[in-house]
Amino acid sequence: MASRMFIRSKSIAFNTLRTYSSSTKLVDVSINDKTGIATVTMQRPPVNSLNLELLTELNGALQDLGSKKIKGAILTSSLKTIFSAGLDILEMYKPKPERASAFWTSLQDTWLTLYSTPYPTVAAINGHSPAGGCLLSLACEYRIMVNNYTIGLNETKLGIVAPFWFVASMKNVISHRESELALTSGRLYKTDEALKVGLIDETAENKDDALAKAEKFFARFDAVNPIARLLTKQELRGETIKELEDRKQEDLDRFVGFLMLPAVQKGLDVYLQALKKKQ
C-alpha cells in the first residue's frame, strides 16, 4: 500500500503555486494558486453516470494531483442537481466481456486511488448521489452535502449485489447495524437523514456554500504534521485497501460472471425500459 502514497517531508509553500487548469471531456481539474486547493469536477451530462471513460479520466486526474503540491482536493459535479447517478447501466447491459472487465477494473483503480490519496479529500455533494456516486463520496475523507438531495448504496433495488469493498466503504463511515439496514433495503437517505446517521459530515445551502465549508475542513490540518497525518490515514484505511488489492481478480471475476447471468440481464432490461417510459 505504501507505494500508493506520496509522503511529504516538508511544509508546502502554497504561494508558489500557479493556477493550474486541465479540462478534458469528462473531468475538469483546477488548482487555486492562493489556497493550494484542487477542485476535481465531474462533467458528463446528463447525470455523471460512471462509464469506463469517465472513470479512467477521474483516476488519472486524482493520480496526477498526487505529484503536485496541493493542500487538498474537492470532488464535485458540474451538474445542477446530480453529483453522480452511479455506475452507467449501459456498461452492464448485454456487455462484451472485455469491455466489462476494463470497466470494473477502472472502477476498482479509481476507488483505490481516491481512498488512498496522500492529500486530504472532500466530497462537495451538490446533487443526488446514489450507488456509485455514494461510493465515490465515501472514499473521500469528508462529505458536505447540499440540502434536499439523496444519497446511498441502493444496489439491491436494481437487483445488484454491492461488492465487499462497497460494503466496507459504508461500514467504515457509519455503524455496522445501520449499514446492514441500508444495504439490504437499498435505502437512499435525504440530506438531513444522512447527517443524522453520519453518512455525511455537514450540510450546505448550495454548491458555493459546500465549497466554502470544504476549504474550512482543509484548514484544520494547518497545524498538523503532514507525515503524521498521512501515516495515520494509512493506518486507518490500509486494511480495506489491502483486501481489495489482494482480492482484485476474484472481485473482477465475480462481477463479470454475475453480469452474464440471464436473471441479472433481465432485471437490467426491465430497469432500462422503465427509464425509457419516464423519459
Nearest to 39, CA basis, from 126, 150, 115: 126
**Grid coordinates of 109:** 483503480
Helix axes 248-259 and 262-278, enclosed angle (nearest 10):
70
The residue annotated as part of the active site, out of 57, 91, 141, 155, is: 155
Our answer to whether residue 155 is catalytic in this structure is yes
Our answer to whether residue 132 is catalytic in this structure is yes
Our answer to whether residue 62 is catalytic in this structure is no
Cα–Cα distance, 27 to 106 (Å, whole number): 15
The residue annotated as part of the active site, out of 26, 50, 87, 230, is: 87
Q: How far is CA 144 from the centre of its chain?
A: 13
The residue annotated as part of the active site, out of 72, 86, 127, 132, is: 132
DSSP string, the chain: -GGG-----S---GGGPPPEEEE-SSEEEEE-TTT-EEEEEE--TTT--B-HHHHHHHHHHHHHHTTS--SEEEEEESSSSBS---B-GGGTSS--HHHHHHHHHHHHHHHHHHHT-SS-EEEEE-SBEETHHHHHHHHSSEEEEETT-EEE--GGGGT-PPPHHHHHHHHTTS-HHHHHHHHHHT--EEHHHHHHHTSSSEEESSHHHHHHHHHHHHHTTTTS-HHHHHHHHHHHHHHHHHHHHHTHHHHHHHHHHHHT-HHHHHHHHHHHHHHHHH-
**Grid coordinates of 229:** 497525518
Task: Please list the active-site residues.
Answer: 87, 132, 154-155
